[in-house]
Amino acid sequence: MIAVFAPGQGAQSPGMLSPWLELDGVREQVAAFSEATGLDLERLGTTADADEITDTAVTQPLLVALGVIAAEQLGLADAEERVVAGHSVGELTAAAVAGALSPVDAVTFAGRRGAEMAAACALTPSGMSAVLGGGDPDAVAAAIEAAGLTPANRNGAGQIVAAGALDALEAFAANPPEGIRAVRPLKVAGAFHTHFMAPAEQALGSYAETIDIADPHPILLSNADGSALTSGRELLARLVRQVTLPVRWDLCLATCAHLGVTAAIELAPAGVLTGIAKRELKGVELVAVKTPDDLDAARTLVASRPQHGQGEHTPDFRVVVMPSKGVFTRADALDEGTKVDRGTQIGTVRTNRSEEVILAGASGVLDEWLRHDGDIVAAGLPVARLSSGTEAS
The strand pairing partners of 130, in sequence order, are 161, 184
Is-contact 201 244, C-beta < 8 A? yes
Identified catalytic residue from 87, 126, 129, 193: 193
Instruction: Write b or e for each residue in 286-322: b if 16 or more Cβ atoms lie within 10 A of its Cβ, otherwise e.
Output: bbbbbebebbeebbebbeeeeeeeeeebebebbbbbb
CA dist., res. 227 & res. 271, Å (int): 24
**Residue 19 to residues 15, 27, 76, 81, 297: CA-CA distances in angstroms?**
8, 11, 20, 29, 17
> How many Å is the maximal CA-CA distance in the chain?
62
Identified catalytic residue from 34, 88, 227, 387: 88
- The answer to whether 88 is a known catalytic residue is yes
Mutual orientation of helices 103-121 and 198-208 as an angle, nearest 10°?
150
CA dist., res. 67 & res. 135, Å (int): 33
CA dist., res. 154 & res. 109, Å (int): 24
Which residues form the catalytic set? 88, 193
